[in-house]
Structure 1
């Protein structure tokens, strides 16, 4: 950093990869502000927000400068991947993120990271030597990008059902399960068993979850087919994989009270373990709920699918409870989940699932408890206004779009088939998007929105509701991080 500043002070141009890395680190620091930090720096939240915008735009301008492209390097890769993460969680999963992710892929191919651990590459490193710090960083970047790609493949929205990184086209070992201080330029045999907690435990948990998402995408019908509802035996087979993953997790990543209590000492020493455990299960339960959602409402009346209804509700409730726990765990490592678009997307969908369930069975024994959880989700989203008004406005806008479609559906005749229902609801969604965005609906408050939602949803049948929930575009963002 001193060298970079000295170069700029003399009027010369610094290494652009180094400069980009510093800019994204500064941007990340600006995004992670706390009231204590603002006080120490004698600054404000608005100034921190402006600093984040300035640093991230400067970094993005370096990436987009085709006249002076940044040479492929590990530092450049790290910079672009971090920038992709920051943009995703500040602006949503828009075109800029796609561009950054594609730049990463092309640069990794240029550096041949996709074949980093082939026998030929390993032998070349043995003969010529290498810097193992750089090799481990390359593995981390590769698997971070791969995991994001596979997680997006089973997260709902327009990108669901497809992924870019094909397992047959890569040979890259997982990053070592170890702490950074044990990785030296000459380090070998540093990989510890998964039962040993390290700074990489949460990262590897995320990779395992992503791998399961890819297996689900491979097993499910193509999204290009008109009737893309998976056979129920496929859903149950994928559910079994979730249960296996839950059981095979290291004990300190287990969510049951006994192991949580047992891990207290480790969490005190390594507070990021608790956040990794919570965010990992948050991601898993969000996708377990997604897996069973096509059979959720049908399971209310058909005993064959009762298990899906039970799992969908239980996982949605778990998502909201884990979101509550995130605040305490995140505060200890300066992570504020309320600033993550990806986190709030999961909360929004879980709340919709529970709200719909309540509206279809208002007299169920636990209906009041479920209503309370929906209200808790509303309070979580509402409180996020202090962190990111843009985030909450996006969610409100999409709830209003959904309400417009629901109101329109209320006067439509029953659907004759799943296929026609999907087409019709998609058309309604498109037709009412512009109306919702342009009619001043942003002035509607949350209480009114939820009240209207609970009033209208019972008039829809299961097919209509499922197709509507599948069609709604949640602000263009996806859970790429979680």
Structure 2
């Protein structure tokens, strides 16, 4: 079957919520979704790619049982049996995630183009959303339904940030998990009930994985900037759920776990467990620094230093195969060869760590330039910001088949922009510093990296443009900078928004108007990006000159206010 079959648009308007027969309506929707399933050969390729490229970051599925479920679903269809809506949504969520993180290898196997794969991502996402949100038969709570919703939320949010719809999906995940009682999964009473009544222990372990995935996302977001800064939903006193087991899926069966491994032993869950530990640290920071949002005063510096110590204790305590020193890297070469995803998990872990460490010290970053009492914070901020930029470059060297797809993730774009802006403010406030030119070059390189991301996800770059315009509009209130509203970069971004897709299988604007993320499949073709890059670089040089010219006129409080005004919010998985 030709690959174009995958990319036919799913028209949710064919489902009529006001139909007099709700059951017939739901059955029609189910049949329509079934018709959008890819052929089994393509489904296997998409599933395998999800397993290699996205599962190591999410750590939600039990791969062997999910693969068996997919195979059984296709066999049931051949036998004339209909799969459940929950099963269909899980499959479409997996296919959507795989299409989001496409690789050259996947495109070759599917004989597809980038544009077709982007279209498939949106089409699969739309099918999953219609199943989840059907007006007469919405998806009920179940473990597979919860996992499917989490995967879908992850994919859509990383495609374009945390929109209103994404917040609704997050709330849906929380509500479904609470309805399932996962927050009390490992109370003494629950464990005794499982012992007496029996249970599928794979499902129990998946529930632990999905619960802690949600909790970690919540706590990481609470210390990432944006409107959610300083606030989290999941209260540790209100839950009793053990951490996921450090184990490969092959060692887990429905009757139990054969043996759980020490955290010093690498497994498919190593990255997820370290992500949880990072999230716990973020929650502790938020608990220790409530004055960040509630009061105008800065936190006590002794508290910052105590938390800084906690950060360094944490990074010293990570397994050796996640460390970045030369000796640890040498020792972990064999592990990374056997488990390629470890390199991505390691880079992501340090990327997240340095972003948070930089944010911890940011209130004293500029004061440290002139006040020796805070010089340590300035050094840490600058060092961690440079480290984030360095790690971002290393991400491009990791194969997409092992998780390396940074240009298509909002969380990566968000952290990179923050680090670049920290260095930019440092240079602008202290242009005579010995390393000023080096830092300026790093900022320019970071901007070029962000610009290149536009070719893979135009919507992500629109977020960077929005933040840059916020920055410039604030600076323009001071004497000096010329009018930059006609920025060629902004103009090219707006033009890309209005460009209709040329995908022959989608048709002009096929998915437009059905949801708030339809326009994203119109990212410019990377083959036509040379002139735009040259123009953007020249424009950025002008922006930088204007920035440096006016920046020294701003005092420290004005700078701090400026940094807080820039929207760093978004779905934060790192």
Kept in 2, the 8 Å contact 1:393–1:442? The answer is no
Residue 160 (structure 1) aligns with: 229
Deviation string, structure 1 residues 198-217 (Cα, Å, up to 9, x no partner): 11111111000000000011
Contact 2:479–2:550 (CA<8 Å) still a contact in 1? yes
Q: Is the contact between residue 219 and residue 282 of structure 2 (CA under 8 Å) also seen in structure 1?
A: yes
Alignment match of 2:163 (pick from 74, 94, 99): 94
| Offset of residue 393 of structure 1 | 2.5
Counterpart of 2:371?
Answer: 302
Task: Give, in whole Å, the separation in 1 of the partners of 2:240 and 2:135.
Answer: 30
Which of 263-272 and 324-333 deviates more? 324-333
Identify if the C-alpha distance between structure 1 residues 223 and 5 changes in structure 2 by more than 3 Å, giving closer, same or farther: same
**In the alignment, structure 1 residue 311 sits paired with structure 2 residue 380:** yes
1:347 aligns to 2:441 (yes or no): no
> Residue 481 of structure 1 aligns with which residue?
573
Counterpart in the other structure of 1:370: 439
Change in 2 beyond 3 A, CA 1:98/1:190: farther
Indicate how the Cα distance of structure 1 residues 172 and 437 shifts in structure 2: closer, same or farther if over 3 A, else same.
farther
Cα distance in 2 for residues equivalent to 1:95 and 1:55: 20
Change (3 A) 1:340 1:187: same
The answer to whether residue 345 in structure 2 is matched with residue 265 in structure 1 is no
The answer on 1:242 being equivalent to 2:311 is yes
Give me the whole-angstrom Cα distance separating, in 2, the residues matched to 1:367 and 1:437. 29
Q: Which moved more, 1:362-371 or 1:440-449?
A: 440-449
SS at match of 1:284: helix
> Aligned-pair distance for 1:193?
1.0
Q: TM-score, normalised by structure 2?
A: 0.76
Moved more, 17-26 or 465-474: 465-474
Deviation of residue 407 (structure 1)? Answer: 1.5
**CA–CA distance in 1 between the matches of 2:455 and 2:403?**
17
TM-score (norm 1): 0.90
Structure 1 residue 334: deviation in Å?
Answer: 4.7
Q: Deviations over 1:64-121 (max 9, x none)?
A: 2242121211110110010111011102111122111111111111111100000111
1:22-101 to 2 correspondences below 5 Å: 22-101=91-170
Structure-1 separation of matches of 2:348 and 2:286? 22
Secondary structure, counterpart of 2:397 in structure 1: helix
Deviations 1:122-157 (CA, angstroms, capped at 9, x unpaired): 111122221111111000000000000000000011
Q: Which one of the candidate residues 197, 203, 224 is aligned to 1:128? A: 197
Q: Secondary structure of the residue that 2:262 maps to in structure 1?
A: coil
Return the alpha-carbon distance in structure 2 between the equivalents of residues 407 and 182 of structure 1.
Answer: 60
Query: In the alignment, which residue of structure 1 is the partner of 2:6?
Result: none
2:542 counterpart (448, 464, 467)? 448
How big is the shift at 1:439?
12
More deviation, 383-392/342-351: 383-392
Match of 2:254 among 160, 182, 185: 185
Deviates more, 1:386-395 or 1:4-13: 4-13
Q: Which residue of 2 aligns with 1:460?
A: 554
> What secondary structure is seen at the aligned counterpart in 2 of 1:328?
coil
C-alpha distance after superposition, 1:385-417 (max 9, x if no partner): 221122113212320221111111458xxxxxx
Which SS does the other structure have where 2:290 is aligned? coil
Unaligned runs of 5+ in 2: 1-69, 493-535
CA distance in 2, matches of 1:203, 1:440: 37
Partner of 1:417: none
Corresponding residue to 2:272 among 168, 184, 203: 203
Displacement of 1:47 in angstroms is 1.0
Rounded Cα–Cα distance in structure 2 between residues aligned with 1:370 and 1:70 = 51
Of 346, 350, 354, the match for 1:281:
350
Contact preservation (8 Å) 2:396, 2:406: yes
Structure with the larger RCO, 1 or 2 (CA within 8 Å, 6+ apart)? 2
2:219 to 145, 150, 164: 150
Alpha carbons 2:478, 2:550 under 8 Å: kept: no
- Greater CA drift, 73-82 or 214-223: 214-223
Partner Cα separation in structure 2 for residue 395 and residue 294 of structure 1? 22
The answer on whether the counterparts of 1:397 and 1:436 sit within 8 Å (CA) in structure 2 is no
Partner Cα separation in structure 1 for residue 108 and residue 85 of structure 2: 32
Show the counterpart of 1:421. Answer: none
